[in-house]
């Protein structure tokens, strides 16, 4: 549908990643978390209700021929229903009752990687999904800002460096801080590569890791937008990360990624594409998809040597 108007509804935290995309006519930001937070706290109630009404009015200001629900969750299915679209396409699933709001469904194959599962929807509509591209629009402002941050930290953007994302939303996806510290010291000391920490709001974790290190590192936590981060990962020699959003950003730009997995399944949500390495111990209880665990054994069983050897192999460095 080359002449179709396309609106993408996205939550605020991720909105920057699709800004400026040439295939989109409009990005409509759904500030769901902020609205619900205000309503629960009985804070700015009238304004929040007004914001919700404004969002719904904007959502319905076009008569959509087709609305596609890629998430298959209650939050996304409500948006689909409110849109008033004629065809409401999604997965043949009752997860969070999402299937109740659809009038056209495709089989949800949970054995596939999430990206391939998402592609089943445009494939159902007749799209050629064999040549899929993952495009994030990087502007000159992003390049300038990242270049300045690196140079200010003593790193030439053209030189080799390793980016590290040690945080994740789930506690069970986290690797121990002391292991990250030891790993990064070995990268800086044995591989002679600068280490750049990245992340969003969780500065405390990065600060603690750096306090345990013996060698210098760079902390860009909280200093980058999502598109800045995309360009930073594009410049990186390699990215080391937990199972998280930054992991997918790294894979999207094709940078070799070493991903640490425990409670989740890399066959479903691992780094997509060629050239990446998943470090996983494969315990009988994994994947469990639990957000809380008393032992976190699946992550604790991953050793520094496991990760360092993968990093050394991907950076082409000989270990003496």
pLDDT digits (tens, 9 = 90+) for 201-259: 789 999 999 999 999 999 999 999 999 999 999 999 999 999 999 999 999 999 999 99
pLDDT digits (tens, 9 = 90+) for 113-168: 999 999 999 999 999 888 778 899 999 999 999 999 999 999 999 999 999 999 99
Looking at residue 160, its pLDDT comes to 97
140-315 fold: Rossmann fold (3.40.50)
Looking at residue 57, its pLDDT comes to 94
Q: Which two tokens stand for residue 56?
A: 């719904």
Task: Map residue 258 onto helix, strand or coil.
Answer: strand
Q: What percent of the chain has pLDDT over 70?
A: 99
Q: What is the DSSP string of 151-162?
A: HHTT--TTS--E
Whether residue 320 has pLDDT greater than 70: no
Looking at residue 240, its pLDDT comes to 98
CA angle 239, 245, 150 (to 5 degrees): 45
Boundaries of every domain in the chain: 7-124, 140-315
Q: What is the mean pLDDT of the chain?
A: 93
Whether residue 319 has pLDDT greater than 60: no
Worst-scoring range by mean pLDDT, 93-107, 171-185, 214-228, 284-298? 93-107
Are 7-124 and 140-315 the same fold in CATH? yes
pLDDT digits (tens, 9 = 90+) for 265-281: 999 999 999 999 999 99
Whether residue 2 has pLDDT greater than 60: yes
Pairing of strands 87-91, 104-106: parallel
The continuous run of DSSP H or E covering 296 comes out as: none
Question: Do residues 92 and 105 make contact, with C-beta atoms less than 8 angstroms apart?
Answer: yes
Other CB atoms within a 10 A radius of the CB of residue 218 amount to 20
Owner of token pair 């109740």:
100
Whether residue 318 has pLDDT greater than 70: no
Q: Residue 317 — pLDDT band, cuts 50, 70, 90? A: low
Looking at residue 93, its pLDDT comes to 85
Domain 7-124: which CATH number of 3.30.750.24, 3.40.50.2000, 1.20.1250.20, 3.10.180.10: 3.40.50.2000
Say if pTM beats, i.e. exceeds, 0.85.
Answer: yes
Whether residue 182 has pLDDT greater than 90: yes
Looking at residue 97, its pLDDT comes to 81
């Amino acid at each position: 549908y080359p002449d179709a108007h396309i609106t993408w509804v996205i939550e605020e935290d991720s909105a920057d990643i699709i800004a400026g995309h040439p295939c989109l006519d409009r990005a409509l930001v759904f500030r769901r978390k902020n609205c619900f937070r205000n309503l629960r706290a009985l804070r700015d109630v009238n304004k929040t209700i007004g914001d919700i009404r404004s969002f719904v009015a904007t959502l319905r200001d076009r008569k959509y021929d087709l609305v596609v629900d890629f998430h298959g969750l209650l939050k996304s299915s409500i948006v689909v229903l409110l849109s008033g679209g004629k065809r409401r396409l999604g997965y043949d699933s009752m997860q969070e009752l999402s299937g109740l709001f659809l009038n056209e469904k495709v089989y949800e194959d949970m054995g596939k990687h999430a990206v391939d599962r998402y592609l089943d929807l445009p494939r159902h509509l007749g799209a050629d999904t064999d040549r899929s591209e993952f495009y994030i629009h990087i502007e000159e402002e992003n390049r300038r800002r990242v270049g300045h941050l690196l140079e200010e930290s003593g790193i030439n953007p053209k030189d080799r460096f390793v980016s590290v994302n040690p945080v994740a939303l789930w506690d069970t996806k986290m690797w121990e801080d002391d292991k990250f510290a030891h790993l990064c010291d070995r990268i800086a000391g044995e591989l002679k590569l600068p280490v750049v920490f990245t992340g969003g709001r969780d500065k405390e974790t990065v600060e603690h890791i750096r306090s345990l290190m013996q060698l210098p590192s760079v902390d860009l936590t909280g200093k980058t937008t999502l598109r800045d981060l995309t360009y930073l990962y594009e410049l990186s020699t390699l990215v080391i990360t937990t199972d998280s959003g930054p992991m997918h950003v790294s894979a999207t730009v094709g940078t070799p990624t070493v991903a640490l997995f425990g409670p989740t399944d890399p066959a479903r949500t691992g780094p997509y594409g060629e050239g990446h390495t998943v470090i996983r111990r494969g315990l009988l209880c994994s994947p469990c998809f639990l957000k809380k665990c008393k032992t976190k054994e699946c992550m604790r069983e991953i050793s520094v040597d496991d990760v360092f050897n993968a990093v050394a192999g991907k950076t082409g460095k000989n270990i003496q």
